[in-house]
Amino acid sequence: MPRLVLPGVELRASFVEAMREFQAEGRGQEHDQSMVGDEIRDGRWETAEGFEAYAADLNAKAVRTPPPGKVRGTTWWWCEGTTYLGRIALRHELTESLRKKGGHVGYDVRPTARRQGHATAMLAAVLPKARERRLAQVLITCDEDNVASRKVIEANGGELEFRGDGIRRYWVAT
């Protein structure tokens, strides 16, 4: 059964496969401002040494003081055994920019694992972790045309706050 795990080197082979899947669908181009896009452009994960540093850096973002304009956040990988299926990130607080687009939570499921309920399950699994951080509700945004993400958010109790400018903003109780 899939579960949330903190990033670790034991998942490197599967993570690299997933990143190749994302690249094959066109992710990682300059216009891709998602976490996956940033990770593809970063590329540290491509070597064993780089991957170890990359995973450590992801884990450190939960505790270290972020640079100005950034927030602390915890990233978990959604895995079944040593198979990387996706990731979900919980931002511990919001900036004004994140209040408009981005919110507290972002997630991605690797292309070969989509349409199997993983995103819905990941979000359900991260809500108690948000509650542990004393977040009574989390803001989640998605693009207006991203029907799959909209269904994930709504399946987890998302209440639509705003619709416009090509996005939807939802609040989800934790």
Whether the Cβ atoms of residue 156 and residue 124 lie closer than 8 Å to each other = yes
User: pTM of the full predicted structure?
Assistant: 0.93
Out of 4-8, 42-46, 76-80, pick the least confident.
42-46
Residue 103 lies in a domain: yes
Q: Where are the beta strands (DSSP E) in 66-156?
A: 73-80, 83-91, 105-109, 137-143
Residue 101 lies in a domain: yes
**Looking at residue 107, which CATH number applies to its domain?**
3.40.630
How does pLDDT run across 47-63, given as a tens digit for each residue? Answer: 999 999 999 999 999 99
Residue 11 lies in a domain: yes
Residue-range definition of the domain harbouring residue 124: 3-135
Residue 9 lies in a domain: yes
Residue 160 lies in a domain: no
